Structure 1
């Protein structure tokens, strides 16, 4: 059975809308399902941010060693640990970027985004030929709009207001952020997979930049999707994302016995629960893994 048919069989088990691109990076064998449709990226948009940061580091615009002082004005709700730090902590840019990826830290993300510039991240994707990756909102923007507090100023007061919303009503499923348009943080599975392939092959800016990006992504701590059903020692570089019924994961999976690697971009919305979406992504990844290793 072809990889395409195998993945379609997995998706027959869910009523959620999925977009998936899987590509073996050596043989170019691929499977694509709704791969040219736009999906809300959620926190997978942190991969383009990381890519832009390492581009700027290589070009000498930024240094990973620079320390950034965090204040209450930087507070962002949602995932991460930096929001729990006492005000005044000084954190290296490298550590902000690492936390942005490995625990999906929203505060760290928005600090890195301030350094590189949201318009420059979006422009860099276009320079790479990835016209279907659009980044228009910071984490704060995304969450405050989704929580019905569009325009709310970041800081302790806004942070507390948004946390109260999340504890009571949660994200508005009809919010504008879920519209699959270029005014939002959206991507097609195809373009995200292309970005991953550029990173995996060392073709994004320089080998040094790609090595740095992969080193961070391989330290991922959130492992309930792409990594979940894979053998324990499998090397994986990935980044997940969740908001509302959106459950995503994108990454590079390294196969055993010299069989290369494959990239996978799995986006979805309309999941009954986060666990349901996670289960499907894990099954998609294991199906691709078994196909490529010949099991």
Structure 2
């Protein structure tokens, strides 16, 4: 059985629409499903943000050891831990990039976006890299606002409280559906996001040292119920998850044991009807391709 067939079997009875791009970085072996279609990235959009941050660090515009002070009025809800801390804590930029990635901290993410000059900088950088199908339109604050029918331009304490009230009560109407795979949302094709991951893994962008920083952070991922879940214990996976509404994603690099090489794999979804089943589908896809690459050992 080849990679494509193994992946298609893993997609049987999937609880939604799944886009997949998986490539063996040494042999070029590939499997894809809807890999040229746009999907909402959810928090997987934090990968391109991290890449652009490292470009700014290399340019000397930002230092990884410079500190950013948390402000109560700037808090962003949703995933992460910084919103729970007292105001006044001063974290390094590297701390923010790490929290943005390994616990998907939304407040940390929006602080990083501000540091690098906004999402337009990320979009421009992606075009420079030849990645024309990655579009970032919303900060975490804006994305979450839209999820509960709000349209507050920037974070405030009152906006934070209103978001939590609406999420708890369910009393809202959607004015902008962030799940739609359209270019006015945070979207990408699985193929392009996977190309970005391959560039990082193969150290084809920025400096090797910057790529090592990013891979080290991605390796520390705390949410491991998707790509790594069914792989042999101890398998190294550098990855970033994403979840919003009916979207359940994971994208990263699998380091095969026994010198068998490296796999860049991106699984994006929409219309998911069961989050746990979707996580298991992503895990099955990764396991199917892993087994093919290992020769079914």
- TM above 0.5, yes or no, is yes
Q: Which residue of 2 aligns with 1:238?
A: 239
Question: What are the Cα deviations for residues 34-76 of structure 1, in whole angstroms up to 9, with x where unaligned?
Answer: 0000000000000000111111111211100010011112111
Provide the rounded CA distance (Å) in 1 between the counterparts of 2:111 and 2:287: 35
Offset at 1:151?
A: 2.5
Instruction: Give the match's secondary structure for 1:178.
Output: coil
User: Structure 1 174/290 Cα, relative in aligned 2: closer, same or farther at 3 Å?
Assistant: farther
Question: What are the Cα deviations for residues 19-38 of structure 1, in whole angstroms up to 9, with x where unaligned?
Answer: 00000000010011000000
Question: What are the Cα deviations for residues 140-190 of structure 1, in whole angstroms up to 9, with x where unaligned?
Answer: 000101210013541211111111222222897884312211111000000
Question: What are the Cα deviations for residues 101-154 of structure 1, in whole angstroms up to 9, with x where unaligned?
Answer: 000000000000000121101110111000000011100000101210013541
Q: What root-mean-square deviation, in Å, do the aligned CA atoms of Structure 1 and Structure 2 show?
A: 1.4
Comparing 250-259 with 52-61, which one deviates more in the overlay?
52-61
Provide the rounded CA distance (Å) in 1 between the counterparts of 2:148 and 2:210: 36
Offset at 1:268?
A: 0.5
- Does the CA-based 8 Å contact 1:80-1:99 persist in structure 2? yes
Provide the rounded CA distance (Å) in 1 between the counterparts of 2:126 and 2:183: 13
Instruction: Give the match's secondary structure for 1:193.
Output: helix
Q: Which residue of 2 aligns with 1:30?
A: 30
- Does the CA-based 8 Å contact 1:146-1:171 persist in structure 2? no
Q: Which residue of 2 aligns with 1:225?
A: 226
Offset at 1:6?
A: 1.1
TM-score by length of 1: 0.97
Provide the rounded CA distance (Å) in 2 between the counterparts of 1:193 and 1:27: 16
Q: Which residue of 1 aligns with 2:93?
A: 93
Aligned counterparts, 1:113-124, within 5 A: 113-117=113-117, 118-124=119-125
- Does the CA-based 8 Å contact 1:173-1:244 persist in structure 2? no
Number of residue pairs matched?
295
Structure 2: 5+ residue stretches without partners: none
Q: Moved runs in structure 1, 4+ residues, more than 4 A? A: 170-174
Q: Which residue of 2 aligns with 1:9?
A: 9
Q: Which residue of 2 aligns with 1:127?
A: 128
Provide the rounded CA distance (Å) in 1 between the counterparts of 2:208 and 2:92: 23
Structure 1: 5+ residue stretches without partners: none
User: Structure 1 171/276 Cα, relative in aligned 2: closer, same or farther at 3 Å?
Assistant: farther
